[in-house]
Amino acid sequence: MTRHGEGFIRYVALDSRVDTDRYPFSLPVVTTLACLDRLDLDPAVTFLTGDNGSGKSTLIEALATAAGFNAEGGSRSFRFTSRATESDLGDHLTVCWNRRPRTGFFLRAESFYNVATEIERLDEGSGELLHAYGGRSLHERSHGQSFLDLVHHRFGPNGLYVLDEPEAVLSVQGCLAMMVRIRELLQQGCQFVVATHSPILLAMPGARILQIESDGTIEQVEYEQAEPVALTRAFINHPDRFLDRMFAEET
């Protein structure tokens, strides 16, 4: 995978003195992180993957806020709050920078509606800000289309992009289009950190895949070893076996 530059974030580390008896510090992945000296990130693409509840979205949100992004998403200049539900984990993360990015964005599926609304508010009908997002309101397109328009029009060179489960609103074709755009941006000196369940996105050549296990263990794995890939392939190859086993357990 061709890319330029050494990346912006070298690693993140958690204060080992935090109180692990309260949420989110009681999450297994956070207690694991507290025991680690540091968590190294790839200079190009780092994927965080794991089952629901593994803590990957909590970790990606904390990384984003520690890097200076708004907890609900957007660029580093966004400071709106619809409902403050983020943890204070980011306040206890140390980010080791190689250098600072020229631009960046925190993109999360669950609060993207709020980001689109804030963009409209900031634009105030002038159209100047909307121009950077494709020329018209993100509310006027489907969720997936607005995601891709933002990635194509707002994401630019020398940027740090933190994405939380972007596949939640993307079709298979949309995921493939996202990969093409990520590759283009890597060649322009960008760095990505992405929480995902998508076996398609995980196939990004050269990416570092960090799998979070149920016990909080963080392990770097190859593409074929990643749980979403292995389970999806096994299901597609033998759907009847999976269905028979699952439905048999219900009886």
Sequence-distant (≥ 6) Cβ neighbours of residue 68 within 8 angstroms: 76
Alpha-carbon distance of 133 to 112, in angstroms, equals 13
Tokens 């190689």 sit on residue:
98
One digit per residue, the tens of pLDDT, for the chain of length 251 reads: 545 568 999 999 998 788 778 888 889 999 899 889 899 999 999 999 999 989 998 999 999 999 999 877 676 655 545 455 557 899 999 999 999 999 999 987 654 545 555 655 555 655 555 555 555 554 545 556 778 888 888 899 999 999 999 998 899 999 999 999 999 999 999 999 999 999 999 999 999 999 999 999 999 999 999 999 999 999 999 999 888 888 886 65
140: left (phi over 0), alpha (psi -120 to 50) or beta: alpha
> Quick one: which of 37, 60, 89, 13 has its CA closest to 192?
60
> Quick one: which of 156, 162, 160 has its CA closest to 194?
162
**Domains of the chain, each with CATH number or no CATH:** 9-110+157-222 (3.40.50.300)
Tokens 């609304």 sit on residue:
117
pTM for the model stands at: 0.84
3 state SS of 73: coil
Strand partners, 93: 14
> Quick one: which of 188, 117, 122 has its CA closest to 151?
188
